[in-house]
A and B are shown apart, each in its own frame.
Chain A
Amino acid sequence: MKISTIKELLQAEVVCCEEGLQHHVYSACGSDMMSDVLAYVKDQAVLLTGLVNPQVIRTAEMMDMVCVVFVRSKKPSEEMIKLAEASGMTLLTTDKRMYDACGILYANGLIGKKVRHV
């Protein structure tokens, strides 16, 4: 699924790195616990989260993710936007709740993929 499709499906706003909308991604995950993302996630390219602090961007960067979607209309700070821009990570924000946002993407074919321990 293209990130531009995620944007449309979630009626999301682009916060930064609009050029990333052309990227294709194959799986996503949703979590407010960065610890869990670091422990269980594997190869998911998109993170949906309701958490807003710079560690969200760094966690996504450590996991080689290309897009973070903030749910419940959460807005990333200037510092977060700078971090995301420095690594070319697209940030989106949607007014959908976590459960709905994940459900919409899943129903449209963006799977969670296997979660595995290394």
Chain B
Amino acid sequence: MSEKLNFHFDVDGTDFTSAGQASVQVKKNLRRLGIAPETIRRVSIAMYEGEINMVIHAGGGEADVNVSEDEIEIILTDHGPGIADVEQAMQEGFSTATDSIRSLGFGAGMGLPNMKRYTDDMKIETVVGSGTTITMRISLM
């Protein structure tokens, strides 16, 4: 596999029940590529948390997954409210999720720390009022 493979998804921000569809599809695609199950699980969890965040905090967005020979890159872009204090958002347990989100099983404030933990590198670019881009990398070497 010398060229890069790219998967692109629009993440619908209006429908919580469909959140995670892109992650499920990526998981299937990566399985077909024969990538190690443990690596696939890390990619899946990180992307799923990010996808859920785009839906519950940012009104949806776009997801791009690039697979090259030595790494998997996940880029999540939204045009939501942005994150005012990234350091605070990264803390375990910090969440601005509403009770209705919590009653759906999310909003424990573990998503961003989880994404960092499961990936080899995570970068958050965010501007309050205009949106957030999160880039995560997982090494295949």
Residues of A at the B interface (CB closer than 8 Å) are: 32-36, 38-39, 51, 53-56, 58-59, 61-64, 79, 83, 87, 117-118
Query: Contact size class for B?
Result: 20 to 34
The answer for the CA separation of A53 and B101 in the assembled complex, in Å, is: 12
Bound CA–CA A33/B20 (angstroms): 16
| Nearest chain B residue, comparing its CB with the CB of A41 | B45
**A53 with B48: CB separation less than 8 A:** no
Point out the residue from B45, B109, B111, B113 that lies within 8 Å of A62, measured CB to CB: B45
Judge whether B123 is part of the interface by a CB distance below 8 angstroms.
no
Q: Which residues of A contact B2 (CB under 8 A)?
A: none
Contacts of B12-43 to chain A: CB distance below 8 A:
16-20, 23-24, 27, 37, 41-42
Q: Are A39 and B106 in contact (CB under 8 A)?
A: no
- Give B21 Cβ to nearest chain A Cβ, in Å: 8
CB distance from B86 to the nearest CB of A (A): 19
Residues of A within 8 A of B122 (CB): none
B134 at the interface (CB under 8 A from A): no
